Amino acid sequence: MNELKNEVFCVIDAAVDALAKAGDIQPGGVIVLGCSTSEVAGARIGKGSVPELGDVIAEAMLTACAARGLNAAFQCCEHLNRAIVMEQRVLDERRLTQVRAIPQPKAGGSVPAAAWKRLNHPALAMNIQAEAAIDIGDTLVGMHIRPVAVPLRIEYGKVSHANLVMAYSRLPYIGGSRAVYE
């Protein structure tokens, strides 16, 4: 587990760093993490939840975001309608719709359940339009990135057995051929 923990911390730190730089995400910005511990462990999504691994992943995400002045948020699974775990302060600042549930490994997911326990004042939002997102294990986190989502690749394409996909958002270009953007 120590080798996997080191890999998780390394990949998540690199992912958060790359997103923060490519997306020019300012302090206070939010990066959402969607993660299947089943997929990381080599099982099919939703079929082999690993709570201990969820705790490692939540810790790695919180650590990487805090080091850059960013806020981490965590997407729950479809059993909680892909609601988002975050600090109450972030929910309030963004005027998000709060919902009531406490994520569990088998109802919300191992990573959001672990994040809930690690946050100072955890809250659950119905949804968010974050500056960026990380998807580990094909959890379909794209619904929580504000438009326009720009895919980003780094040297790591996987976390153990799970696919790693990321995107940051940029402002939409409008106005057609006569518009000036720069």
Please give the share of the chain, as a percent, with pLDDT higher than 70. Answer: 100
Measured distance CA(10)–CA(110) in Å, rounded:
20
Task: Give me the chain's average pLDDT, please.
Answer: 95
Local structure of 42: helix, strand or coil: coil
Residues 6+ apart with CB under 8 A from 127: 82, 83, 84, 96, 97, 143, 144
| pLDDT, position 174 | 84
Statement: residue 177 has pLDDT above 90:
no
The pLDDT tens digits of the residues spanning 70-79 come to 999 999 999 9
| pLDDT, position 41 | 92
- Max intra-chain CA distance, the chain: 56
Q: Is the bond leading into 85 cis (omega within 30 degrees of zero)?
A: no
Q: Residues in the chain, how many?
A: 182
- Fold adopted by 2-170: Rossmann fold (3.40.50)
Give DSSP secondary structure letters for 161-182.
Answer: TEEEEEEEE-PPP-SGGG----
The pLDDT tens digits of the residues spanning 45-67 come to 888 889 999 999 999 999 999 99
| pLDDT, position 175 | 80
Measured distance CA(130)–CA(107) in Å, rounded:
23
Phi-psi region of 23 (alpha: psi -120 to 50; beta: other; left: phi over 0): alpha
Q: Residue 95's pLDDT band (boundaries 50, 70, 90)?
A: very high
Give DSSP secondary structure letters for 69-87.
Answer: T-EEEEE--GGGTT-EEEE
- Cα 41 to chain center, whole Å? 18
| Predicted TM-score (pTM) above 0.85 | yes
Measured distance CA(10)–CA(98) in Å, rounded:
32
